[in-house]
Amino acid sequence: MPKLVPISHRELARKLKRAGFEMIRTKRHPVYYSAKRNMTVPIPNHPGDVPKGTLRTIIRELGMSVDEFNAL
């Protein structure tokens, strides 16, 4: 099983942008949208790293493997 490395919410936002998402809302938790996938993804905006369980859930919703996500 590939290793899931902890990342900040800023790095998660950069990876979502590389995957074709754009920010549509910035209140509390930023929300990213991809018209190609017709999908919205809210990301946590807290100090520190994104919890591994939350990150794994976001990756699963994107339909990516951990390796594909780490390569973004």
The alpha carbons of the chain give a radius of gyration, in whole angstroms, of 11
Q: What is the pLDDT along the chain (72 residues), one digit of tens a residue?
A: 678 888 999 999 999 999 999 999 988 889 999 999 899 999 998 889 999 999 999 999 999 999 999 999
Domain presence at residue 23? yes
Domain presence at residue 36? yes
Would you state the structure tokens that stand for residue 72, as one six-digit string? 């973004």
Domain coverage including residue 37: 9-71
Domain presence at residue 4? no
**Domain count within the chain:** 1
Would you state the structure tokens that stand for residue 68, as one six-digit string? 């594909």
pLDDT at site 1 = 64
pLDDT at site 10 = 93
- Which residues, 6 or more positions from 67, have their beta carbon under 8 angstroms from its beta carbon? 2
Global pTM reads 0.87
Domain presence at residue 1? no
Would you state the structure tokens that stand for residue 44, as one six-digit string? 């946590």
Residues paired with 42 in a beta bridge: 31
CATH number assigned to the domain comprising residue 54: 3.30.920.30
